[in-house]
Amino acid sequence: MFVKFSLFLSGLLLAFSVSASPQIENWQTSKGTQVYFVKAEELPMLDIRLVFDAGAARDPKGGVALLTSAMLNQGTQNKDTDAIATAFDDVGAEFSAESERDMAVMSLRSLSKPDALEPAIDTFVEVVSQPAFPEKSFERLINQVKTGLQGEKQSPSAIAERAFYQQLYGDHPYSTMPMGTEASVNEITIADLQQFYQQYYVANNAVLVIVGDADIKQAKSLAEKISSALPAGTKAPALPAVEPLETAREVRLPYPSSQTTILMGQPGLTRDDADFFPLYVGNHILGGSGLVSIISNEIREKRGLSYSAYSYFRPMREAGPYQFGLQTRNDQADQALEVLKQTVMDYVEQGPTEDQLIAAQKNITGGFALRLDSNSKIADYLAMMGFYQLPLDHLETFNSRVNAVTVEQIKAAYKKRIYPQKMVTVLVGGETE
Amino acid sequence: MHTLKKIVWALLIVPVIGFAQVSEYQLDNGLKLLVKPDNRAPVVVSQVWYKVGSSYEHNGITGISHILEHMMFKGTENLGPNEFSRIIAENGGSENAFTGRDYTAYFQTLEKERLEISFRLEAERMRNLVIDDAELLKEREVVAEERRMRTDDNPQSLLREAMNAAAFVNSPYHHPVIGWMNDINHYNPDDLRKWYQMWYAPNNATVVVVGDVEPDAVYQLAQKYFGPLQPEELATVKPQIEVTQRGKRTVELKAPAELPYLMMGWKVPVVTTAAEEWEPYALDVMAGILDGGASSRFARELVRGQQVASGVSAYNSAFSRLDDVFTIAGTPAQGKTIDDVKQAIFEQIDKVKQSPVTEAELQRVKTQVIASSVYQLDSVFYQAMQLGMLETVGLDWRLADSYPDKISAITAEQVQQVAKKYFIDDGLTVAELIPMPTDHTTPRPTSGDPHVR
């Protein structure tokens, strides 16, 4: 999923130098939509992301946000599902609608030659601004979600993730899974989707990203066309803050798998968190840098306990999860969990060494250019920056802020914010033989 | 595993596109070098492709190419375990490797000035790997965990593995890339050393570089680092041509699951083996007619119209090294059964056999191929991947350019011909996942081997 991926990326990667930062143009349409544009005319193509603050965090009952986004291309006042599909496919355009917790993202990729782009844009505008929510598609998509929920139940990692979010977020809107539950999905009506659409799919609640083969004049006219098709509406209200966990919780869910999937964590970072940089760089060293991280070294390299062992922050509007994970065969689950817990406790206690910090800073800043080496990566970053209202110089100052982080700052931030004794732990798997 | 759709110079679409052609070089020791400049961003991707993968393996050591790929990070004569990764990380690079049936490839993406680091390290591990006994024992455990994660605890992966094992009798496509668990548990260091010695040599490698670079400078760098390496006398690869299938094969697989799943494979030729050069391309077009976007026949008829399936996919791999299967897989919609899905798929195939696809459908597939050939240029990694894969399966990398033309040349009659010729029961393997309860009373599945304690 795009949204999940971009959040994940922006939590882990992100490093830029002034020279390679793309030239970002930012303005507001007459209807109130913030627009972020980067001209990239080397390839004859254009990417558009229309992002609404309309993810599962706004969901009145689990599944409404997801189904609303999925219904947009199912029919408009003038076109049925087949006609919309044909309109995009016939010009080689790719449309997708995704919805996670914070964002609902409508994406379009098209060739930039007018005989492809113009019909693609027209269909895109029609789909996002005049959805008809046809009954037949609604019933089919409800069934698709039910199949999706069954699919989750045969995946140990999906079972673990659902339990993890429930434990981590309790009554907070972030505990809602985008697909909802069988019970919540059964209660959804078309009226729910229409109401959700009318409230959140509005110009003042949207961010528009345009990247590709267009000049500023074309981009402005395009942005105006898309934004003016939407009602002005109002911005979604603030979400409640996430409460910290008060006690440790452990959930063991039996499942007939050969491995036990372990997730552990606590609420972590907001996008504009004051401790963002010490924690981000600190986690890069602990579990965010793949095979060279401390956790991977302890779990995989030294002991061969898991193929993948990691940790990451997923910064969100309110505190997104700080998540640790691994999978190991059932009879080693307790041992692996013990090693993981000890590793995290040691790190919170001792922090990184100066050498580890320098290596991490070199990795993050030296890889600057890689993070923005394609139109789609640039579009993902702009969507993230626009949605979370980060300053336009976010990219340019990123490297210097990473380099400014000290060992002492990481230690202090971990002591203040990370509580290994109060984390949620979820284990999904078979019993030890 | 990867759809190899092709890039194009987009001459049909826009007259001038700011991209250079590929430069091809060969060193005296046999190493092939392909360089493709792309100066949109100051980055470079460097990939080393070896002609070895699970289709080079025999029973008893299945998956050895894959675990060797893991061991390539575990130290050489001049590098400690994991030092390779640490050096790349300190230079801001990202790196990894992947193993397939027909290739093993290693890659780094770096800021463009740092290509030399990649070449220096890759040249070192091309000839100087050290297989340490203790490291191998640990890595066997890691690979066993990888297999459990990817295959044993994933019912749809298990079904795919079972289908391939039934569809292919003597072709090495019979066995999984990651290997059977019993084989994973019994690799010994000498197996690995022999395998490395046999296949890791400059005359069995292709280096692909795409990014903000100048081809001749890359060539100089390649000569400096890869040039001194000694070539190896390579083993002859046996043809292992699959025996003719004589009748439909069916597989049932029971695993803890909530959803039934159907997977069917029909034996088809690929570009490297086809007697009629156009046939694999016609099969690609057929895959596009059935499953190329929301307006394709499967989405329109089976998912939306009849609502018999929650999803159905069609996939042809025209660029395998050996004869392959055209795969169709699907999950029944709520209230529907595997048999319903199967019947609906057969009806769609019969339609393609009985009447030519419409001009509009054909045009749509061709337009999509041309568009995606442009979209793929957005990724330097993907561009390198296409060149490396084509070269490594024994084809010419220039096919990357000509693919849209090959597709554009396909007619409705040709699609009908391949449908009639290859979608026959005698070439078919049908695999069905039978869901078993997922509560904890069900015995745990194993892949045939109790774990080593």
* Domain-located, residue A168: yes
* Alpha carbon distances (Å) from B277 to A258, B171, B321, B387, B410: 45, 22, 15, 20, 11
Average pLDDT of A45-64?
97
Q: How far is B15 from chain A (nearest CA, A)?
A: 10
Whether residue A254 sits in one domain with residue A220:
no
Give the span between the Cα atoms of B120 and B83, in whole angstroms: 13
* Domain-located, residue A175: yes
**Angle in degrees, 0-180, between the axes of helices A354-366 and A276-286, rounded to the nearest 10:** 100
Q: Is the pLDDT of residue A219 over 60?
A: yes
**According to the model, what pLDDT value does residue B449 have?**
45
Whether residue A98 sits in one domain with residue A24:
yes
**According to the model, what pLDDT value does residue B8 have?**
31
Average pLDDT of A83-89?
98
Q: Could you list the residue range(s) of the whole structural domain that residue A347 is in? A: 249-429
What is the value of pTM for the model shown?
0.93
Q: What percent of chain B has pLDDT over 90?
A: 91
Give the span between the Cα atoms of A293 and A290, in whole angstroms: 6
CATH number of the domain where residue A327 is located:
3.30.830.10
Whether residue A208 sits in one domain with residue A254:
no
Structural domain ending residue among the three candidates A172, A199, A228:
A228
| Side-chain-facing half-sphere of A157: CA atoms under 13 Å | 11
Confidence of residue B89 (pLDDT cuts 50, 70, 90): very high
Residue identified by tokens 């002034």 is: A18
Query: What's the ipTM?
Result: 0.92
Whether residue A162 sits in one domain with residue A86:
yes
Residues of A in contact with B114 (CB under 8 A): 366
Residues of B in contact with A294 (CB under 8 A): none
* Domain-located, residue A204: yes
Q: What are phi and psi of B197, to 5 degrees?
A: -60, -40
Token pair for B202: 């400059």
Confidence of residue A96 (pLDDT cuts 50, 70, 90): very high
Give the span between the Cα atoms of A6 and B446, in whole angstroms: 36
Q: In chain B, count of helices (H) and strands (E)?
A: 15, 11
Q: Is the pLDDT of residue B17 over 80?
A: no
Whether residue A207 sits in one domain with residue A134:
yes
Give the span between the Cα atoms of B263 and A208, in whole angstroms: 40
The beta-carbon neighbor of B89 closest among A89, A256, A289 is A289
* Domain-located, residue A351: yes
In the annotation, is B69 catalytic? yes
Whether residue A283 sits in one domain with residue A154:
no
Whether residue A409 sits in one domain with residue A341:
yes
**According to the model, what pLDDT value does residue A430 have?**
85
pLDDT in tens, B189-235: 999 999 999 999 999 999 999 999 999 999 999 999 999 999 999 98
Contact across the interface for B378 and A376, Cβ inside 8 Å:
yes
Average pLDDT of B147-154?
97
* Domain-located, residue A393: yes
* Mode of pairing for the β-strands spanning A424-429 and A249-254: parallel
Contact across the interface for B149 and A372, Cβ inside 8 Å:
no
The beta-carbon neighbor of A42 closest among B40, B109, B140 is B40
How many Cβ atoms from other residues are within 10 Å of residue B213's Cβ?
Answer: 22
- H/E stretch holding B24 reads strand B23-26
DSSP B367-401: HHHHHHHHHGGG-HHHHHHHHHHHHHTTS-TTHHH
**According to the model, what pLDDT value does residue A280 have?**
98
Whether residue A135 sits in one domain with residue A91:
yes
Give the span between the Cα atoms of B342 and B248, in whole angstroms: 14
Give the span between the Cα atoms of A415 and A408, in whole angstroms: 11
Whether residue A204 sits in one domain with residue A310:
no
Count up the domains in chain A and report the number: 2
Contact across the interface for A256 and B85, Cβ inside 8 Å:
no
Which has the closest alpha carbon to B48: B396, B387, B424? B387
Residues of B in contact with A93 (CB under 8 A): 371
Contact across the interface for B294 and A92, Cβ inside 8 Å:
no
Whether residue A165 sits in one domain with residue A60:
yes
Per-residue burial over B1-15, b if 16 or more Cβ lie within 10 Å, else e, is eeebbbbbbbeebbe
Whether residue A74 sits in one domain with residue A12:
yes
* Domain-located, residue A386: yes
**Count of residues making up chain A:** 433
Whether residue A61 sits in one domain with residue A19:
yes
Q: Where are the alpha helices (DSSP H) in B321-379?
A: 338-354, 359-375
pLDDT in tens, B353-383: 999 999 999 999 999 999 999 999 999 999 9
Give the span between the Cα atoms of B378 and A375, in whole angstroms: 6
Structural domain ending residue among the three candidates A228, A263, A290:
A228
Residues of B in contact with A363 (CB under 8 A): 89-92
* Domain-located, residue A237: no
Bridge partners of residue B434, in order along the sequence: B254
**According to the model, what pLDDT value does residue A15 have?**
34
How many Cβ atoms from other residues are within 10 Å of residue A197's Cβ?
Answer: 20
Q: How far is A151 from chain B (nearest CA, A)?
A: 7
What domains are defined for chain B? 23-225 (3.30.830.10), 249-436 (3.30.830.10)
pLDDT in tens, B267-278: 999 999 999 999
Phi-psi region of A417 (alpha: psi -120 to 50; beta: other; left: phi over 0): alpha
Average pLDDT of A104-121?
98
* Domain-located, residue A344: yes
Amino acid identity of residue B264, one-letter, is: M
**Count of residues making up chain B:** 453
Mean predicted lDDT score pLDDT of chain A: 94
